[in-house]
Structure 1
Amino acid sequence: MAVKLSERSFAYAKRLIDEGRAAVDEMGEWSEHQPSTQQENEFIETFGFDDYGRWYLGEDDDYSKDEKSRYEFPYGDFERAHRCGVIAAEVRAAQRKYDDIEVAAAHLHGMLDELK
């Protein structure tokens, strides 16, 4: 499995935060805030996989660009970047030893903490 940081998604997340399209929520709230499978499917149907992929910090190039399995480490709800999602991505990336994703998520985490 070759999961790597999506620079495009990282830049998009930074832009969302800079524009104030961010939720400064608490660490354990991601299970309540992350999109459901139905919401993911509706987003893909409306906007396509290219836009869907911007909401995930990691991409697994073992999968094609039109498969949900390609996209890992979600950080938002298709409207805003969520602090709890960024923290979840940061923790999971550290556990799996995806250093580039962990560093990017930590950067976003810091940006979101500055909004507090």
Structure 2
Amino acid sequence: MARYEVNEAAVAKARDLIAARQYVLDNEWGDVQPDADASNAFLERHGWEDYAAWHLGLKVGAKDGTKARYAFVYGDLRRVHRSGLIACIYRAAEWRHKQVETAANDLLQELDKAAGIE
């Protein structure tokens, strides 16, 4: 099974976006999750470093600058999505990537606090 480590740059970006109130609270993640076309267009405009910052997980052993390296996208490449963080928690828990699960859960708690969700 693939192993993932937490992408600290992505955690920092998500925290910055939450603090700036750049988040969406209610939507269906499947409807807004970036697809291949959106990801490719973002990569062309912004490069790998910015692309990586939208992914909470880094696949151990995969090369930087490849899509195989980055997993657990949490936003639409513009804003954090609450449903995206929940999807990250679920997927990470399902595949036993505990560090990524914990990071996503911590971000969800920060977002909920910022949004006044109790």
- TM-score (normalizing by structure 1): 0.93
Determine what percentage of the aligned residue pairs are the same residue.
Answer: 36
Structure 2 runs not aligned, ≥5 long: none
- In the alignment of these two chains, the number of paired residues is 114
Aligned partner of 2:40 in structure 1 is 41
1:50 aligns with 2:46: no
Residue 7 of structure 1: CA displacement? Answer: 0.9
For 1:5, the equivalent position in structure 2 comes to 6
What residue ranges of structure 1 are gaps of 5+ in the alignment? none
Aligned 1:1-116 pairs, distance under 5 A: 1-26=2-27, 29-114=28-113, 115=115, 116=117
Instruction: State the distance in 2 between where 1:25 and 1:112 align.
Output: 12
Deviations 1:10-52 (A, max 9, x none): 11101100110111125xx110011121010000011111110
The aligned amino acid for 1:24 is L
SS of residue paired to 2:47: helix
Moved >2 Å (runs of 4+):
none
Please report the RMSD computed on the Cα atoms of aligned residues, expressed in angstroms.
1.1
The whole-number CA distance in structure 2 between the counterparts of 1:111 and 1:3 is 22
